[in-house]
Amino acid sequence: MTNPLRWRHAGNGLLLVGILTVAGLVLHSAPDRDLQQSAIPVQGALGESASGRNIRATVHSVAVTESVTAGNGWAGTTPGIWVVADVTVEAVVDDQGATLGTAVLRIGDLVYTASTRPQTATVAGRGLATGIPLTGPLMFEVPADVVSSATSGSSTIELAVASDPRVDSLLVVPVDLAELPAQPAIEVDFPEWDAR
């Protein structure tokens, strides 16, 4: 005659093993702390609008130049080279405290922040309005050898509302800098509201 208590203990043991197995799978498949707090990338394309939680942007064009003159007369010379992007950006949901806080050019493992030296002649760091696009330049100062490096073909321009885009949308637009010839000089327009 079998002992029902023995079967109950065996069943409880199997149930405990099953619970521990499921818990182990959940623990090892859950994202780590860095992944939990990372930005949420939204893939875009050159010339096309991309939208995130509270940002919509279009990178219209990108140029490489030895010197740039901004719409306010600021002239940027550099021992390196300028990567200049023409962008349109706006807030989507709420413009309370919304700025273009992140505007970076990523070339391989290297990250370059958009220059604020042109002050009001760039959209970097500018306040955004809900539903009213702001169009203007972003200017990145980079070493010339980086633009001609092997990794420059898979560069990205990354835009976000916050200066720290963790746990928020980060628009990522691929740019092939290797395909762009360096121009001696360019002039860019002053940023305009409701342009394009």
Task: Render pLDDT for 122-164 as a digit per residue (tens, 0 to 9).
Answer: 999 899 999 899 999 999 999 988 888 888 888 999 999 987 8
pLDDT at residue number 34: 61
Helix (H) or strand (E) holding 85: strand 75-90
Mean pLDDT per 10-residue segment, the chain (196 residues): 70 83 77 66 94 93 93 87 95 88 93 92 92 95 88 91 81 93 92 81
Residue 158 tokens, joined: 């990354």
- Name the architecture of domain 39-193: Sandwich (2.60)
What are the structural domain ranges in the chain?
A: 1-30, 39-193
Question: Three-class SS of residue 129?
Answer: strand
Per-residue CA distances from 102 to 51, 78, 114, 182, 187 (Å):
15, 22, 8, 25, 23
Please state the length of the chain.
196
pLDDT at residue number 97: 81
